Chains A and B, each alone.
Chain A
């Protein structure tokens, strides 16, 4: 049976399987973005050509060869359109959307022509040492030209993006772009498979390039989480394939050994089969360990410990970046607050020489200087408080006051992003809370809301008294969060923003928990997100803490 398989068809078959697997893997993240959807379609399209090639290289019946050549050519009609669309979507080049639309229209027309007429493959066959090909009609040349143009167009866009963005991208985004460029370049070289159709005796090497595309993508998924394929899934998937493969080899060896010994001893021995099985199993374990170690080294750069270390480094980098973001926001707010007293101090200092003899000026000077210096001292004090980590320092506060201070602090951002903010306070709003930590909570939520609003929108904040609890609902008219992602928003490092680090809401959740409160979130894509913070009112918190234990409660309340 093995002798009948055309060796040239093996690589195309394997690459088709690889493309299909990648397509399925990315498809699991289908709902994440259009990028994922297009990439998965592209993988499915790239499955068809090598698969049909692996089939028709093993065929001799002209009718069947023509049939499979047609199926394979579906890739040539669809892949350019998907490639262009993926490039435009990935690089956010919406001004080039027309190009993908044109390609889709052409793809629809050519696909229809391919499947319903003989214009692509009129019926003749071409013979090469590695198999028969269907001789092309004129439309195949058209597809070749369109495919080449698509490759050049996309390549150009990716290179421009690489040149202009590589210095400003985060490490993750940088790697993502780098691997996508490598993978798509390799995929472009799959065009080599057109050559035998054009009477050039080049063996089917295009599949090798599709293989490089697949392997690069798979490697980047494993190593750099491109397309958000999670590490647990990847590791499990690889080990599953590995175990399946090795088990198949193992069973093959057992069967072969059994046959061999049966022939040698001339009788059917269960005992002998078992002996062979155990012998192979004993030799097999070190082999499996070796392969697994090699896989670990190749894909996961060493052992579990090395992987954990790498993840920890990545986590620290993200924490630093989140801190930097928070500090930069805080610094912008601080700069604004410092500039007001500075302006006053500067002007009064400037007038001092000429108005020194004016007693009225001197009185005013002394008062204004004192006030403004005190104010700046307060700002510095707040900066120190902001950087001080730790458990909540509880005191009775009016939450609306903290909220208004945060809103005021972000005023510049609201104006910049044309965001209207409305607040409504109903009932009693006294709680036991850490002022700075609650400010951090409001800051993180409001910053998310601002980020989700593209250009102009509104944020409505409502404080309502629910008897024993106080509810603070912050509703924005932003882009919203897809339903399947809402459950993850409190996970550390989970983010839907390209420049986010995913710690904001996780910090909110942790602060609220420390305050015996909770956070609820609801969102509708395209309509906005509502975050509801529920805090026990001042008296309730005291009771809750006393129930837990006098020492703990007292400690918290008296801090």
Chain B
């Protein structure tokens, strides 16, 4: 069975782009805001989650914080258009496995997902 990935981004363009990159190898689900992301991750069984930083209702970092507090161990990859070292550090300190800047490369996304899945095994 293909690993399940949650794509959490409020931008349709980004969700569609990630779908193009990942749809062949993985089962994909979507969330369009922070609260929906949290709900999906706490109820569904995901192998990895790609979470955007800037989302309505709850930003990606807040999702990470809540996620950590709830002791859920789904690996999270943070996506963002902000190029800030502080933000990257903050995301990693909150438990994110990696930090992927936008605009991303197809290979970059595939490699990051593979590497997270590999380390989870």
Contacts and interface: CB of A to CB of B under 8 A. Distances in A.
Given A351-B20, A415-B59, A343 B81 contact: yes
Contact of B16 (A336, A344, A346, A411): A344
B111 interface: no
A371 B13 contact: yes
Contact of A415 (B11, B87, B101): B87
Nearest to A346: B103
Contacts of A310: none
B61 A340 contact: no
Contact of A343 (B59, B84, B90, B104): B104
B21 A347 contact: yes
Contacts of A336: 54, 81-82
Contacts of A357: none
A326 interface: no
A368 interface: yes
Interface residues of A, number: 27
Contact of A348 (B11, B17, B84, B86): B17
B20 A415 contact: no
Interface string B23-56: 0000000000000000000000000000001100
A339 B87 contact: no
Contacts of B83: 335
B102 A412 contact: no
Nearest to B11: A340
Contact of A347 (B20, B81, B82, B86): B20
A355 B20 CA distance: 10
A412 B84 contact: yes
Nearest to A342: B103
B103 A416 contact: no
B30 to A, nearest CB: 15
A516 B6 CA distance: 49
A319 B43 CA distance: 54
A342 B82 CA distance: 13
B13 A344 contact: yes
Given A368-B12, A408-B54, A411-B59, A340 B90 contact: no
| A339, A355, A408, A416: residue with the most chain B Cβ atoms closer than 10 Å | A339
A416 B85 CA distance: 9
DSSP majority for the A interface?
helix
Given A335-B81, A342-B103, A347-B21, A415 B53 contact: yes
A341 interface: yes
A416 B84 contact: yes
Nearest to A332: B82
Contacts of A372: 13
Nearest to A361: B20
B12 A343 contact: no
Given A336-B82, A412-B82, A416-B84, A343 B14 contact: yes
B113 to A, nearest CB: 15
A343 B13 contact: yes
A345 B86 CA distance: 27
A52 B118 CA distance: 80
Interface string A401-422: 0000000100110011010000
B106 interface: yes
Interface string B83-120: 11011001000000000011110100000000000000
A364 interface: yes
Contacts of A339: 81, 101-103
A350 B16 CA distance: 13
Contacts of B90: 415-416, 418
Interface string B1-19: 0000000000111101110
A168 B54 CA distance: 32
Nearest to B82: A412
Contact of B102 (A340, A350, A355, A411): A340
Interface string A359-378: 00100100010011000000
22 contacts: A335-B81, A335-B83, A337-B81, A340-B81, A343-B13, A343-B102, A343-B104, A345-B103, A347-B106, A348-B17, A348-B20, A351-B106, A361-B20, A364-B16, A368-B13, A408-B54, A411-B54, A412-B53, A412-B54, A412-B82, A415-B87, A415-B90
Interface of B: 11-14, 16-18, 20-21, 53-54, 59, 61, 81-84, 86-87, 90, 101-104, 106
Given A340-B81, A348-B17, A371-B12, 14 more contacts: A339-B101, A341-B13, A342-B103, A343-B103, A343-B104, A345-B103, A346-B104, A347-B21, A347-B103, A347-B104, A350-B106, A361-B20, A368-B12, A408-B54
